[in-house]
Chains A and B, each alone.
Chain A
Amino acid sequence: MEHVVIIGNGIAGVTAARHIRKLSNKKITIISAEADYFFSRTALMYVYMGHMRWRDIEPYESWFWEKNNLTLQKGYVENVNTDTKTLHFTEGNSLKYDKLIIASGSTTHFFDWEGQDLMGVQGLVTKQDLEILEVNAPNNKVCPRAVIVGGGLIGVELAEMLRTRNIEVTMLVREEAFWANVLPKPNAEMISKHILSHGVDLRFNTALDKIIGDENGKVKAIVTTNGEEISCNLVGIATGVKPQISFLKNSNIETDKGILVNRMLETNIEGVYAIGDCAQQREPIGNRPPIEAVWYTGRMMGETVAQTICGKKFEYNPGNWFNSAKFFDIEYQTYGWVFSEKRKKDYEAHFHWKCKSDLRCVTISYHRKSKEFLGINTFGIRMKQEVFDNWLNENRSVDYVVQNLIQANFDPEFYKKYENEIQSEFFKQPVNV
């Protein structure tokens, strides 16, 4: 019986395992050093905030694994020998495989700052990060003030978490507004205001210079690139993540920033695949970055590689881009491509609408000449993926999309509808910006 070994029990690895199990009775072993059972990484924040217990963020009950004949093994893979098809663990044991799927995920990206090894400097990616956070910032007596470096999704999550324990938060954002390298300026500005309203001290155009420790090796303060010193007890590093592939450095598996894979998610070694955050496409797919550290892309790669391993080869061929997040109280969804001013294509034009409340806004991107609909950012209004997916596949015009926007509405019943307001603003506005 063929033995499929999966390194990593995150969404990518577990999805692959589930789908392989559906298609075959191969022996499947899932290895993790991080947690006994698969959990939702995106829900780590809710455990610290007291919304859920650890077991609530585990999507499957513990009997699930045995029932589906999925062997779980706890251990840290130290070395992969692809010649003998053997994994070596730091614990000293080893494991043979026939097919290997590497789904080891990401880890916090530190940029070699002075003082980054001090106690109290941490990211928020793993279960261990959450445990350390409970040590570093259990309450506002142990940790009256925190500085978060980086204005992105992990940064705002960390800010929301710490604010629930009344810890003062300063957030250093390199750009002129929160997440402005991804969001168009009007979106970024609205979210920035919202974050400020939750008592977060947002510093724009500011980055981290160095971290200063005290005599016990703990964080005492940081110095910004503007030369300002801010005393703090916690430094949250939220400047992005990078593939966790250090255990492959002595192996024959070819890596760059991540594990290099072709469209079949195959590495340079036959029978070894890489999926999820740790995989790097040799050629980027469409507008997508070569490394996609997103929940659902991990899931989709797992779905795809399972078919390939079970004999029906499929390329990883993701459909239209989409994503979502929540910034404190404002939900965000995006379908298709809406780029920030910095990354905007020459042909891309934007239409912006914002609600008077400053809690909702919509940005629609379209082709300047052809008026083809390219994508939408929606904040505070829920919209349906299926509808936009169809419109993008059908190359609908922006006029059509705006006229039929109500079809995409996914807000709960009785909610106020803003589509008329959006339409009238769109059609009275001079086209092109």
Chain B
Amino acid sequence: MSTFQRNMSLTGEPPKTINTQQKIASALGLIGLTLLFLALLNIAFPHKILWISISIILISGGTIWFSIAAYLHKPEGIKNDGVYFKSLSSKGFWAWVLGIFLTLFYVVLYWFPEYLGFMTEGENTGVISLFDPFSNLLNGGPASQWFVYGTLYTIAILIFGIKFILKYRHNKYEKLRTYSVMFFQLGFAFIIPELMAGLNSESTTLPYYDLKNIWPLNYYNFDQYRVDQFISSGTIGMALLLFGIASIFIITPILTYKYGKRWYCSWVCGCGGLAETAGDPFRHLSDKRLIAWQVERWVVHSVLVFVVLMTTALVHSYLGNDSSKYWLTKDVFLVAVAVLLTAVFAWTFIFKREELQKDARLGAIGYFVIIISLVGLHFFSGIDLFLFNAETLRTTYAFLIGAVFSGVIGVGFYPIFGSRVWCRFGCPMAAILGFQQRLFSRFRITTNGGQCISCGNCSTYCEMGIDVRAYAQKGENIVRSSCVGCGICSAVCPRGVLKLENGPLEKRIDSNEILLGNDVDLMNYVNGNQ
């Protein structure tokens, strides 16, 4: 069932891709998963702590042993042999099995948690009850489906992070980056929020807050219940609320200016963290065609507009009208949003117009007109802000984008569409960071003169579907809003052509008709004539 290319191989069969140790390790991991599955069928495990520990140890140990057996006996270097021969990594039978399994898991998780054993009243059963003791230990309460998911997610990033580190053990950039996502997932996304939840009491009711999960990725951060919880929790709560606002409006632009969006997408973010570790075997499956890039630009920016509209409507819905009670009223807020969006739009068109493609300009103008006229319409005729009820927008977003796009499609389809489908087509945070990266960041990927041989490794292994080769073979820097700076293009390049760098903004985007190495007069003549 593998998609091994028969046109290049009349009698051939791909070499055996896993050795005996890897088979045993896989079996152990699968036994661990089976234990969880048995719990799902409500087989009562007498000693929950014992069985959950055994299961997690088997899964983790199996994965790590598998990785050691796969890489450690081989010399350090690029390990892409047979990627397109293996069923799992070339959209073959096992890829579909895994894809369907993951998709089903997400469907159950989001909409039918009771099948996992989640009980809103009374004791949990099934898999979730297995996690109760562990949950008790961290936050003092029983497990929810989100606790189970968070735990498994963190374990996945840690164990597949180790696999990735072993695979790229010759590459310090890749190692550091992976340590970083492992650290942020374990500490910021998992342990700290759980402990914070455990500290809640009568007086403080802090919401579950993953500090690195920034709005608009964290689209619910300014929901009424959360803001209420922040405000009612005194100084700490207010500090956290302000941090949430500062994250997107102050911290993010500064860091992206200095390092590009990679500081977030491939060093900190949890979605990125999973894509870079568990998703690594599927990175080459991203669509590299020009048409995919065109679709990407429209879809990801539409999601961004959606989340801005939704959040504006939502915050607007719970603010008051009386400025004597609190300075931030519905009207003040709406004006502030309109001013901010106008400022961004004006800045872009005054200073960066030349850098936008034609469809990007049209899109920007179109979206800007829509948002401002909706705000205006509301102001002057008093109709429902954005035509829809704020709560409707919020639930629609949570369903379509928060669950279906980022979860079911984003992760469930790893083995089919590649590991960064969500980050590339759906993530509004990536859209904002990408906008900053494209227009005012020191980050770029530089190319090395005329050394490129157009082999295509860089493009193939770009998880974001960027046709890196198209730039490299022209000697042009790669400055693309979608680039998450994972560094794999540079790693797989056989000729040392690509380098991720931070540098001055001047001459960041320069293409040459003729590359270094040819006659100096010819280069000057042709490149000067452009």
Q: Does A257 contact B (CB under 8 A)?
A: no
Contact B460 A319 (CB under 8 A): no
Q: B517 touching A318 by the CB < 8 A rule?
A: yes
Q: Evaluate contact between A319 and B15: CB separation under 8 angstroms.
A: no
Instruction: Name the one of B77, B173, B495 contacting A415, with C-beta atoms under 8 angstroms.
Output: B173
Question: B120 contacts which chain A residues (CB < 8 A)?
Answer: none
Residue of B nearest to A48 (CB): B8
Q: Which of A57, A134, A299, A410 contacts B12 (CB 8 A)?
A: A134
Complex Cα gap A314–B84 (Å): 44
Judged by a CB distance under 8 angstroms, whether A165 is at the interface is yes
- Chain B residue numbers with a CB within 8 Å of A33 are none
Closest B residue to A333 by CB, please name it.
B496
Q: Which of B10, B495, B516 touches A319 (beta carbons < 8 Å)?
A: B516
Contact with B along A208-249 (1 / 0, CB 8 A): 000000000000000000000000000000000000000000
- Contact assessment for A51 and B460 in the assembled complex, using a CB-CB cutoff below 8 Å: yes
CA distance A47 to B8 in the complex (A): 9
What B residues does A418 contact at CB under 8 A?
none
B152 within 8 Å of A (CB atoms): no
Query: Taking the complex as formed, is B450 at the interface, i.e. its CB lies under 8 A from any CB of chain A?
Result: yes
Residues in A neighbouring B516, C-beta threshold 8 A: 319, 385-386, 389
Given A312-B525, A328-B77, A415-B172, A142 and B11 touching (CB < 8 A)? Answer: yes
Tell whether A134 pairs with B456 under 8 Å between CB atoms, given A322-B449, A331-B496, A382-B496.
no
- Which residues of A lie under 8 Å from residue B491 when comparing CB positions? 412
Alpha-carbon distance A42/B456, docked complex (angstroms): 10
B451 within 8 A of A: yes
Whether A134 lies near B10 (C-beta < 8 A) is: yes
Contact B520 A319 (CB under 8 A): yes
Interchain CA distance A326-B5 in the complex, whole Å: 25
- Give A104 Cβ to nearest chain B Cβ, in Å: 19
Assembled-state Cα–Cα distance A304/B517 (Å): 12
Of B86, B455, B500, most A-chain CB atoms within 10 Å: B455
Residue from the list A303, A312, A385, A412 in contact with B518, Cβ < 8 A = A303
In whole angstroms, how far apart are the Cα atoms of A225 and B518 in the complex? 42
Q: Tell me the smallest distance from the CB of A343 to a CB of chain B, in Å.
A: 22
A56 at the interface (CB under 8 A from B): yes
* Interface-central residue, B83, B456, B491, by most chain A CB under 10 Å: B456
Give A48 to B82 CA distance when docked, in angstroms.
9
B172-A326 in contact (CB<8A)? no
A207 CA / B500 CA spacing, docked (Å): 44
A391 at the interface (CB under 8 A from B): no
Interface positions, chain A 331-369, Cβ under 8 Å from B, are 331, 333
Q: Are B453 and A42 in contact (CB under 8 A)?
A: yes
Which A residues lie within 8 Å of B9 (CB)? Answer: 134, 138
Contacts of B473 in A (CB 8 A): 59
When the two chains form their complex, are residues B80 and A50 in contact, meaning their CB atoms are under 8 A apart? yes
Interface of chain B residues 215 through 272 with chain A (CB within 8 A): none
Known: A300-B450, A324-B495, A412-B490. 14 other contacts (CB 8 A): A43-B457, A50-B81, A52-B456, A52-B460, A53-B84, A57-B455, A135-B12, A138-B11, A299-B515, A303-B522, A307-B522, A326-B494, A383-B496, A389-B449
A-B contact pairs, 30 of them (CB 8 A): A19-B513, A42-B453, A42-B455, A50-B82, A51-B80, A52-B84, A56-B459, A59-B454, A59-B470, A130-B8, A134-B11, A138-B12, A138-B13, A139-B14, A295-B453, A296-B451, A300-B519, A303-B514, A307-B526, A316-B519, A317-B521, A320-B517, A324-B451, A333-B496, A382-B448, A389-B517, A410-B448, A410-B496, A412-B500, A415-B173
Residues of A within 8 A of B (CB): 11, 19, 22, 40, 42-43, 46-54, 56-59, 61, 130-131, 134-135, 138-140, 142, 164-166, 197-198, 295-296, 299-300, 303-304, 307, 312, 314-320, 322, 324-326, 328-329, 331, 333, 382-386, 389, 410-416
Minimum-distance CB pairs A-B, first 9: A138-B12, A385-B449, A329-B77, A382-B496, A43-B455, A317-B519, A50-B82, A326-B494, A414-B172
**Residues in B lying within 8 Å of A, measured CB to CB:** 5, 7-15, 75-78, 80-86, 170-173, 176, 289-290, 448-451, 453-457, 459-460, 469-470, 473, 487, 490-491, 494-496, 499-501, 513-522, 525-526
